[in-house]
Structure 1
Amino acid sequence: MARTRDTQQSLFFGRDESWLSFNRRVLEEAQDESNPLLERVKFLAITASNLDEFVEIRVASMLQRIEDGYSETAPDGTTLQQTLAAINEDMHEFVAEQGHCWNEQLQPALRKAGIRVLSWDEMDETARKAATEFYQREADPLLTPITIDPRHPFPRVLNKALCLALLLRSKRSKSSTAPVLGVITVPRALPRLVPLPSNGGTHDFVFLHDLIERNAGSMYRGYEILARTAFRVTRNSNLYFQEEESRNLLETVRAELHNRRKGDAVRLEIDQNAEPEIIERLRINFELDESQVFLTDHPVNLSRLMNLYSATPRPDLKDQPFVARELRLNRKSEDLFDELRHRDILLHHPYDSYDGVVGFIQAAAKDPNVVSIKQTLYRTSADSPIFQALTEAAQTKEVTVVVELTARFDEASNIRWAREMEDAGVQVFHGIVGLKTHCKLALLVRRDPDGVVRSYGHLGTGNYNPVTSRFYTDISLLTSDPDITARMHSVFNYLTAHSESDDYSPLMMAPLTLAQGMISLIHRETEHALAGRPARIIAKMNSLLEPSVINALYDASKAGVQIDVIVRGICSLRPGVKGLSENIRITSIVGRFLEHSRIFFFLNGGEEEVYCGSADWMPRNLFERCEVVFPVRDAQIRHRLRYEILSAYLADTVKARRLQPSGDYPHLRDLIPGLAPFSAQDFFIRVAESKATAADIPPAEGPVEAVPLAPPRKAAAKRAKNAAAD
């Protein structure tokens, strides 16, 4: 049994270990002095938000499964209990690193730049007066102080709500009664950082909870405040319901959203200088183990530092803005549909404006020749022009929308969209029971001026969200290819009627054909290599976790296939193992934009193929969601994807990190000293501004085996030692 486990550990990294490693790479961006200062603050805030989601979903799920008696092991051979213990240790270390970043790096640099987060003692009289007026005008009317006693039980603290805990003693019976606990919830409706006036040219702020804490005495008259501190509780945010037993999925999700706010506590964050009695009372109340209590030496809710980024008008301390390239039509008619009858259009967001996609939907809504529109919606923006276009189109056309109600943390807004669209006459469906609808498809049917009825489609890798499209990298394909659009019709039939087709090609669709289709493409490269034909795989995605795909990649590597996988986040594949994966490179790029596009290149003996789509190589994408991966058939677009976009990522020496067999992710520039700096994301901006072309991409560093291995970091060495000891 031990031998089997050792073998498994040599093949796979643990999912959660890999995710924590990803968040550490985001933290390194906050620590990187070459990034603009306020961008570093933003990266730190993102690490806190990421960790919140990890705790309330992944950690909460593991705790629930342990409580329910599950005893399964992960692909790396570890049990749930072992995984949870290692995760807790890593998270405590990570929180300490976050604190060091804020206290020792960012705060001093911000003050030097004239951006100050002040305590009460640091404020001058003008600032104190303004802060007091803000408190009295904006905060005090929203506050509800609570004292915990037999008549007033502990309040239901909302998930991730910032609170103040106070240790109180009655002034009337000061000597005969034990201290009681007071709790104040900091209003979410107010900014966490309150701007202050300044006469010295600085941008000054005070934390809202500091301001409330300062004035807590006025809410607890008759009590002596012995101690006070900020705290925050994270709760289990998984939705638990059986879709098969739900008569109305929309109402079930709505009800469970209300229950989510009451989920079991899984983490307590509290100031490390808090009175021990307060910490212990909170821990007992929330029924937490000591390992679930996180003592911080920094603001309890670091994710709110995003307010500092947005509220500080210092463009010199932020990334330089750029203007995305607008969609330009080649034909004189300026008719998008006429253009699509002659060529496919590829958009690379955010460098190519998302207005091209919005314009496609809006043109369909307004065009009297368009008779029907079908679209999937997973996430969209609060004031979405796509939503508006679809509701307007429903007045004159057949409009069908498949809304994913269980898109995590967007359930409430999606319920609202679904109801409003139904009221407007849109046919709204919620996809297949038990499967999330994650594919990004829009399909319209049009009677063209020549009398022919044609279909036009948009297929993408990202959500129909004009807001996130400005900082997510994604791919959009606009096409009238009859083979592709016909299969899109089949996909929509599956989503609305569970009607399965015998053939979805040239598309690959999860959960029916995608996993086997991708594995077959990998096996084909293996066969090419064994036969002495050209073989190469380049795959870009968010996460790589599916064991069957990883094993296929291992087989391809052993056959001599050169493989590059560009994975932003989770990666369970262990590269660089002799006799197994020495022909595989894993690169992670964390930079200004969130890498979200999925692109898959196969050399295929010289007959190159490129696919894009909504799916990562993860079990949930391949087997538990409705996903679509589509071929790029236009030769020019295929060339652009391979020799401009993928080549630029492979040539990156600024933001690229290379996964080591130890699990570390050193910068490529540290592995190969002397490399000229080249940033793929900066290059794409220059391309959008017509200042660069593919000819400006430097060659990548060479074959996989030419890259030296870095010695493991202390943390990775410790994990390996612990794994061996277990």
Structure 2
Amino acid sequence: MTKTKPALTSRFFGRDESWLRFNRRVLEEAENEANPLLERVKFLAITASNLDEFVEIRVAGMLQRIEDGYNEADADGFTLEETLDTLTRQMHAYVDEQYCCWKQQLVPALRERGIRVLSWSEMDEAAREAANAFYQREVDPLLTPITIDPAHPFPRVLNKALCIALLLHSKRKATSDPVLGVVTVPRALPRLVQLPSAGGTIDYIFLHDLIERNAAAMYRGYEILSKAAFRVTRNSNLYFQEEESRNLLETVRSELHNRRKGDAVRLEIERDADNEIVERLRVNFELDETQVYRTDGPVNLSRLMNLYSDTPRPDLKYAPFAARELRLHRKSTDLFDELRQRDVLLHHPYDSYDGVVEFIEAAAEDPNVVSIKQTLYRTSSDSPIFRALTEAAATKEVTVVVELTARFDEASNIRWARALEDAGVQVFHGIVGLKTHCKLALLVRRDPDGEIRRYAHLGTGNYNPNTARFYTDLSLLTADPEITAGVHNVFNYLTAHSESDDYAPLLVAPLTLAENFMRLIHRETSHARAGRPARIIAKMNSLLERSVIEALYEASNAGVQIDLIVRGICSLRPGVKGMSENIRVRSIVGRFLEHSRIFYFENGGAAEIYCGSADWMPRNLFERCETIFPVRDAQLRTRIREEIVGACLADTVKARYLQADGEYRPIGSAASAKDAPVFSSQDFLIRVAEGKANARQIPAAVTISLEDVQAETAPAPAAKKKSAPKKSAKKAATSAMKPVTGSGAANGAIRREEPGDEELDPAESTLR
């Protein structure tokens, strides 16, 4: 019997249920009629893509651990099997909500606006002729029908490939049992085929419906008893011993082939599929009934992204806007001269990412620049930054640290690494056992005065001009000698594992970051106890590290006012009297993916602001190479605090607040926010970029009261268990680098990742 987790007895929320709540907030954007219609379709596609990754990484890892015999109870007394059982029930309910949104809300709304996805019976003769012609010309040559029998075993169905299963009865052998046929839908073709329309509508038919319509021609001699589209999700974790790899690039490349063939962990199939088809597939893929998801609509909603991208209806999408150019932040025509005078801060996508590209391209073209060093975690195809680095290698020393195991970008990163090496770039792959997640570029230049100076870019997001149009991130361009010296030391660490005694003013994981964040939080606690101004505002993607959460609880009890803007997973339980009554947690889900990491500490009136690549998660603090940098320029600190953070804290449209029971509610529904003006932070920042607004027009921050975040009945939190002696950050990092056992990784694999803050190209349809 599955235990039900009692409310408010734990000091922490479970990470997996918190992630599902985040994806539920994305689904709410698909359901929100205030959003443009095709943007709602896009949000629904994103929820499906998010859930795919959660299943193939997180759920698959849990299943692997259970299979390996690891099923211990967690701190709340729940075994891995019990936790997985709870998640499975929640995922089934969530899938039902997704398809309800599609069928009952989006399909009727699309039809009202002249966009139709038709069945064969709804198509007129001209549309049918066009569909058949497309099928004969483009589809049929790519199909390989298979019949399952002793001579034709079940085909190896690739991960997330859409297939059609057919229950067939031989016309020649009337007494024989039905057999199963399988056709894989070609990935090279669009999932939605556009049809001609005489009525002014935009019409489509799903590709799998068109293939099913023509299935009889592929199975001559058989009667088709029933058919259904299905899709299998497989374990996509990469399992390898990095410390035993002789060549990391080749090890990752070979392991990628196994991802497509991992154990099945989920079967999605149309709800009206014949039970015999479902059972044969379930048995073949060795799945439990709970791992079968019956869809009340098209299998694989993530492909609805094609409906968004292919439908020429700009009136049903967000209005485009012109991002502010770097030149508007500059006083000098010479970028390097400008940076010698002052730092430049860019806030993407409101500030164009062309400013970062210009910085790298200027370095590549400038004969006075003698060396370039850069990290690459994810980049885009045909990247101008990639081109600039390869061109610069002809005349300069160019060093690039490429992270090969950025999830789902491994293959492209291998290609980049090889191409860079061919161009003469020195390519490194970082520290064994640690992902290189920091976003750094360092230039060494002989300036006109004869001095050798360093110039740096430090960011919160990847060097990817494509995602920079959809992700909110910060870029700091600087010639600050102390910051650039710190960046230099970080590169020495990445290329030679040369540890410095001090990376100040940078905070660097896994060496100094965790202990410094704890120091900054404890400092606010001390200020509050001494009666000095004390406040913490932190914006990030995820909050999971329990030592940080406990420090925030302590700060709250000391009277520190704490506002957290956490887009995704949050394990901290806010608004519990005597534990977290001074902590408020918001999540903003909107047009852009909130990706910037900002950390504000009041510091007794001498405020400090830090930005960087790390969230407050164990992997960011102890298992990755990360960099957090201070913003030293007073004007830039004011801009971050008043314009960027201030807008987030005033948002009453896209912000939701986390309650003590784990649920999220719109900020506008809070009792203390009912009189607050309607204000969208992202819409406001677009107007700022267009020169139509400024920080003085931001309304006062919405202060959520304790009553707003507390559940109606909130028992005291469970007694805190006596904790084991704390490791230093460096020791924790060392232990994190050891092979992991019992984590679902074969033979203690090091490279294991969980969904939460990975950054994908928009083509992956992911908002995470």
Contact 1:8 1:75 in 2 (8 A): no
Q: CA separation of 1:556/1:205 partners in 2, compared to 1, >3 Å: closer, same or farther?
A: same
Alignment of 1:385-400 (within 5 A): 385-400=384-399
- 3-state SS of paired residue (2:26): helix
Cα distance in 2 between the residues matched to 1:708 and 1:255: 49
Q: Which residue of 1 aligns with 2:623?
A: 624
- Give the residue type in structure 2 aligned to 1:108: P
- Residue 701 of structure 1: how far off its partner (Å): 2.5
Contact preservation (8 Å) 1:244, 1:433: yes
Which position in structure 2 is the counterpart of 1:292?
291
Given that 1:14 and 1:76 are in contact with CA atoms closer than 8 Å, whether structure 2 keeps it comes out as: no
Give the 3 Å change call, closer, same or farther, for CA 62–331 of structure 1 in structure 2.
closer
Deviation at 1:532, TM superposition (A): 0.4
Which amino acid is 2:371 matched to?
S
How far 1:676 sits from its partner (Å)? 1.5
Q: Over aligned residues, Cα RMSD in angstroms?
A: 1.6
Q: Which residue of structure 2 aligns with residue 678 of structure 1?
A: 679
- Paired position in structure 2 for 1:598: 597
Q: Distance in 1 between matches of 2:9 and 2:86?
A: 15
Structure 1 CA distance for aligned equivalents of residues 332 and 605 of structure 2: 37
Aligned length: 710
Separation of aligned partners in 2, 1:551 and 1:349: 32
Distance 2:289 2:408 in 1: 28
Q: Which residue of 1 aligns with 2:641?
A: 642
Cα distance in 2 between the residues matched to 1:82 and 1:383: 46
Q: Is the 8 A contact 2:7 2:661 kept in 1?
A: no
* Native 8 Å contact 1:529 1:535 kept in 2: yes
CA deviations over 1:589-626 (Å, ceiling 9, x no partner): 00000000000000000000000000000001001100
Would the alpha carbon gap of residues 62 and 707 (structure 1) be closer, same or farther in structure 2, given more than 3 Å must change? same
Aligned-residue offset at 1:670 = 1.4
Contact 1:243 1:249 in 2 (8 A): yes
Q: Paired residue for 1:723?
A: none
- Give the unaligned 5+ runs of structure 1: 721-726
Residue aligning to 1:103: 103
Task: Report deviation, 1:675.
Answer: 2.7
Map of 1:153 onto structure 2: 153
Output the CA distance in 1 between the equivalents of 2:116 and 2:155.
34
Name the counterpart of 2:80. Answer: 80
Cα-to-partner distance string for 1:696-722 (whole Å, 9 max, x where unaligned): 00001236537464669xxx99xx9xx
Paired amino acid for 1:553: L
Q: What's the offset of the Cα at 1:435?
A: 0.4
- Higher mean C-alpha displacement, 586-595 vs 64-73: 64-73
- Once residues 9 and 137 of structure 1 are traced to their aligned partners in structure 2, the CA distance between those partners, rounded to angstroms, is 62
Look up the SS of the partner of 1:455 in the other structure. Answer: strand
Q: What do residues 431-474 of structure 1 show as CA deviations (whole Å, max 9, x unaligned)?
A: 01100000000001000011000000000000000000000000
Deviations 1:34-79 (A, max 9, x none): 1110000000000000000000000000000111111344455432
Work out whether 1:249 is the aligned partner of 2:244: no
Match of 2:229 in 1: 230
- Tell me the SS of whatever aligns to 2:47: helix
Using the alignment, how far apart are the partners of 2:75 and 2:314 within structure 1? 46
User: In the alignment, what sits opposite 2:412?
Assistant: 413
Q: CA deviation at 1:383?
A: 1.1
- Mapped to 2, the partners of 1:62 and 1:489 lie a distance apart of 40
Residue of structure 2 in register with 1:57 after alignment: 57
Superposed, 1:441-480 pairs within 5 Å as 441-480=440-479
For residue 205 of structure 2, what is the aligned residue in structure 1? Answer: 206
For 2:472 and 2:425, locate their aligned partners in 1 and report how far apart those are by CA, in whole Å. Answer: 30
The unaligned stretches of length 5 or more in structure 2 are 719-768
In structure 2, distance between residues paired with 1:124 and 1:711? 57
Q: Distance in 2 between matches of 1:687 and 1:73?
A: 50
Give secondary structure in 1 for the equivalent of 2:10.
helix
Give the TM-score, by structure 1 length. 0.96
User: Any conservation in 1 of the 2:657–2:709 contact (CA below 8 Å)?
Assistant: no
Q: 1:31 to 1:331 in 2, by over 3 A?
A: closer
Distance 2:132 2:529 in 1: 75
What code does the residue aligned with 1:676 have? P
- Cα pair 1:394 1:426 within 8 Å, conserved: yes
Distance 1:9 1:274 in 2: 42
Q: Which residue of 2 aligns with 1:328?
A: 327
The code of the aligned residue for 2:515 comes to: Q
Shift of residue 155, structure 1, vs aligned partner: 0.4
Contact 1:13–1:574 (Cα < 8 Å) also in 2: yes
Are 1:659 and 1:665, in contact at CA under 8 Å, matched by a contact in 2?
Answer: yes
**Equivalence for 1:724:** none
Ranked by relative contact order (alpha carbons within 8 Å, sequence separation 6 or more), the top structure is 2
Partner of 1:542: 541
Q: d(CA) in 2 for partners of 1:675 and 1:276?
A: 54
1:711/1:274 Cα in 2 relative to 1: closer, same or farther (>3 Å)? farther
Amino acid paired to 1:245:
E
Q: How does 1:460-609 map to 2 (within 5 A)?
A: 460-609=459-608
**Contact persistence 1:538–1:564 (CA under 8 A):** yes
1:10 is matched with 10
- Do the aligned residues in 2 keep the contact of 1:12 with 1:76 (CA within 8 Å)? no
| CA distance in structure 2 between the partners assigned to 1:81 and 1:564 by the alignment | 35
Contact 2:346 2:476 in 1 (8 A): yes
| Letter aligned with residue 234 of structure 1 | T
Distance 1:7 1:178 in 2: 52
- Offset of residue 384 of structure 1: 0.5
Q: Which residue of 2 aligns with 1:91?
A: 91
Listed one character per residue, the Cα deviations across residues 302-322 of structure 1 (whole Å, up to 9, x for unaligned) are: 000000000111111111110
1:701 aligns to 2:696 (yes or no) = no
Alignment partner, residue 141 of structure 2: 141
Deviation at 1:298, TM superposition (A): 1.4
1:610 aligns to what? 609
Question: Equivalent residues in 2 for 1:178-217 (5 A)?
Answer: 178-217=177-216
Output the CA distance in 1 between the equivalents of 2:707 and 2:700: 14
- Quote how far apart the aligned CAs of 1:674 are: 3.8
Moved more, 196-205 or 70-79: 70-79
Question: 2-side partners of 1:498 and 1:270: how far apart?
Answer: 49
Kept after mapping to 1: 8 A contact 2:148/2:181: yes
Question: 1:515-541 CA deviation, whole Å, 9 max, x = no partner?
Answer: 111011000000000000000000000
1:120 corresponds in structure 2 to 120
The structure-2 alpha-carbon separation of the partners of 1:706 and 1:83, relative to structure 1 and needing over 3 Å to count, comes to closer
SS in 2 for 1:10: coil
Q: Is the Cα contact below 8 Å between 1:8 and 1:77 reproduced in 2? A: no
Once the two structures are TM-superposed, the CA of residue 230 in structure 1 deviates from its matched residue by 0.1
After TM superposition, give the deviation of residue 329 of structure 1 in Å.
5.9
**Deviation sequence 1:577-600 (CA, Å, 0-9, x none):** 110001000000000000000000
Note closer, same or farther for the CA distance 1:170–1:199 as it changes in structure 2 (3 Å cut).
Answer: same
2 CA distance for matches of 1:13 and 1:330? 42
- State the match for 1:341 in structure 2: 340
Check whether the contact 1:329–1:339 (CA below 8 A) recurs between aligned residues.
no
Contact 1:471 1:594 in 2 (8 A): yes
Question: Separation in 2 of the partners of 1:106 and 1:329?
Answer: 41
| SS state at 2:475 partner | strand
Residue of structure 1 equivalent to 2:746? none
Distance across 2 between alignment mates of 1:330 and 1:649: 22
CA distance in 2, matches of 1:78, 1:350: 42
1:431 aligned residue: 430
Partners of 1:480 and 1:73 lie apart in 2 by 51
Deviations 1:525-576 (A, max 9, x none): 0000000000000000000000000000000000000000000000000001
Q: Mark the CA change 1:72 to 1:630 in structure 2 (over 3 Å): closer, same or farther.
A: farther
CA contact (8 A) 1:538 1:602 kept: yes
Which range moved further: 327-336 or 552-561? 327-336
Deviations 1:14-43 (A, max 9, x none): 000000000000000000001110000000
The alpha-carbon distance between structure 1 residues 546 and 9, as it changes in their structure 2 partners (threshold 3 A), is farther
Kindly indicate whether the alpha-carbon contact (under 8 Å) linking 1:671 and 1:709 is maintained by their aligned counterparts in 2: no
CA displacement at 1:627 relative to structure 2: 0.3
SS at match of 1:199: coil
Letter in 2 for 1:352: D
| TM-score relative to the length of structure 2 | 0.91
Matches of 1:567 and 1:36 in 2, distance apart? Answer: 25
